[in-house]
Amino acid sequence: MTAEVNPLDLTGKHILVTGASAGIGRATCVLLASLGARLMIHGRNEAELNRTLTMLAGDNHSMSLMDMSQTDELAPWVQQLAAEHGHFDGFVHCAGVQITKSIRSFDAEFFDQTMRTNLASALAISRGFRYRRPKAQQGSIVLVSSIAGLIGQPGNIVYGASKAGLMSATRGLAMELLRDNIRVNCVAPAMVETEMAQRTRDDMTQAQFAHIEAQHPMGLGKPEDVANAIAFLLSDAAKWINAVTLPVEGAYLAN
Amino acid sequence: MNKQEFLNALEEILELDADTLTEDQVLADLESWDSLAFLSVIAMADEEFDLVIQGSKLEEITKVGDLIGLVSEHLSEAA
């Protein structure tokens, strides 16, 4: 009889997941914990983050609250977490904001807030993640981008730019962190049934949302669909996959 | 910035504990010394002293003291 092999096994890996209080972040935490990972989950909403904690297999997980727009506080925050709980093997960046806004209402504050929360946070946390990390063990970073960074959508310009920035940052980080034995990859989901998507839906007419839905040949995604891709990229099964953006979009882009 | 402060800034760039670096330290012996660390030294010199260090200088540098030599004219006396 052969031993059972799970290529996605994450036993013994310590993983930081931002944006874990809802949607893709929460589903990712549930999956990673079931694959054996020890998690440090991050969010802004303490009650919802606690709820995520209760959904996780195992009892060795921790949580931490942090405002992702406070760019310069993020690297020290991660370094402190690593000092207190042990270095991280993985980092999944699900935290992000999406506000539907026309270019007619564009201003610096809206731009800065979106870019800091979605893009600068990924870089600042990567800085803290790699700091004095043992190089012998391969590390893996997965940034959650969006197909909004690959296509054009009215009212979604700044969000799209921040997500395109994540794809570019993935490639740059992957090259710079080669010497640290850290892989950096990215997933780009189409619309997934999350609280964030619900807010987008609320901002639109029924006809507008029906149009978006119709652009998804396989229907809208589930948070678990994206979590599966993230778990794969984090795992040793992807140990020779680096600097890529994996679209997770039910054939949206082929349509 | 005096010499000690410059050494402390180097320690930060090289991710070493404070007050551990000496002028005699051979840079190649430090795991964290690489082209990116030198890039950070160049950026620091530019920011702190408005001094442009040519990347080609990297080939002439072996010890921490050599790095100090690049900026020595701009360092103040220790307080």
Exactly one of A88, A91, A159, A252 is catalytic; name it. Answer: A159
Kind and range of the H or E element at A88? none
pLDDT tens digits, one per residue of A6-61: 999 999 999 999 999 999 999 999 999 999 999 999 999 999 999 999 999 999 99
Q: What is the pLDDT of residue A1?
A: 59
Cβ–Cβ of A131/B34 closer than 8 Å? no
**What confidence tens digit (pLDDT) does each residue in A184-242 have?**
999 999 999 998 888 888 888 888 889 889 999 999 999 999 999 999 999 999 999 99
Measured in angstroms, the CA of A65 and the nearest CA of chain B are apart by: 26
Out of A131, A132, A176, closest to residue B36 by CB: A176
CATH T-level assignment (fold) for domain A14-248 = Rossmann fold (3.40.50)
CA A242 to centroid of chain Cα atoms: 16
Among partner residues B15, B34, B36, which is closest to A131 by beta-carbon distance? B15
Res. B30 pLDDT band, cuts 50 70 90: very high
Which chain B residues touch A179 with a CB distance below 8 Å? 34, 36
SS3 B47: helix
* % of chain A exceeding 70 in pLDDT: 99
Assess B18–A contact: CB distance below 8 Å, yes or no: no
- Please state the φ and ψ torsions of residue A41, each to the nearest 5 degrees: -100, 140
- What residues of B are in contact with residue A131 (Cβ under 8 Å)? 15
Residue B28 φ/ψ, nearest 5 degrees: -65, -20
Band (pLDDT 50/70/90 cuts) for residue A3 is confident
In degrees and rounded to multiples of 5, residue A127 shows phi and psi of -60, -45
Distances from the Cα of A104 to the Cαs of A100, A107, A155, A166, A234, in angstroms? 12, 9, 9, 25, 40
Q: Is B79 on the interface with A (CB under 8 A)?
A: no
Catalytic status, residue A159:
yes
Close Cβ partners of A140 (under 8 Å, ≥ 6 residues apart): A89, A90, A91, A182, A183, A184, A185, A233, A234, A235, A238
From the CA of A176, how many Å to the nearest CA of chain B? 9
ipTM of the prediction: 0.77
Q: What is the pLDDT of residue A215?
A: 93
Burial class from Cβ neighbours inside 10 Å (0-12, 13-18, 19+) for residue A97 reads middle
pTM above 0.95, yes or no: no
Nearest residue of B to residue A180, measured between CA atoms: B32
Residue ranges of domains in chain A: 14-248
Interface residue B12 vs chain A (CB under 8 A): no
pLDDT of residue B78: 62
Q: Which residues of A touch B36 (CB under 8 A)?
A: 176, 179
| Residue-averaged pLDDT of chain A | 96
Instruction: Specify whether domain B3-73 bears CATH 1.10.3720.10.
Output: no
Q: What is the DSSP secondary structure assignment for residue A254, as one 8-state letter? A: T
**Per-residue pLDDT averaged across A105-113, rounded?**
97
- CB atoms closer than 10 angstroms to residue A107: 8
For residue A176, list chain B residues with Cβ-Cβ distance below 8 A.
36
> Would you state the pLDDT for residue A196?
81
